[in-house]
Amino acid sequence: MPPETEFANSFEDVQPDVERRETNARKRRTMLMWRNAVEHTWETRPLNEIRKLIERQPKIQEAIIAAEGGRVNFFPL
């Protein structure tokens, strides 16, 4: 567990973001918010996971074709 001062500092750093999220929780999401969320996800996701997603696309497409556009079950990584 971090020392009290370290926790207090991190809590103070995070508090404005928490308050912003609570304020925006009931507001409609904008395209900019969605874009930022997508960019954040791609920037923080490990490169090996992205490569796995790309490499499995041909198998997914073949399954969709075989199912004639019907439902195909693929599980996340």
Q: How far apart are CA 38 and CA 40, in angstroms?
A: 5
Nearest Cα neighbor of 53 from 65, 36, 41 is: 41
Segments making up each domain of the chain, as ranges = 1-44, 46-77
pLDDT of residue 36: 87
Q: What is the mean pLDDT of residues 51-76?
A: 85
Q: What is the CA radius of gyration of the chain?
A: 20
- In percent, how much of the chain has pLDDT > 70? 75
Give 8-44 pLDDT, tens digit per residue. Answer: 566 677 777 778 777 777 677 678 888 888 888 888 8
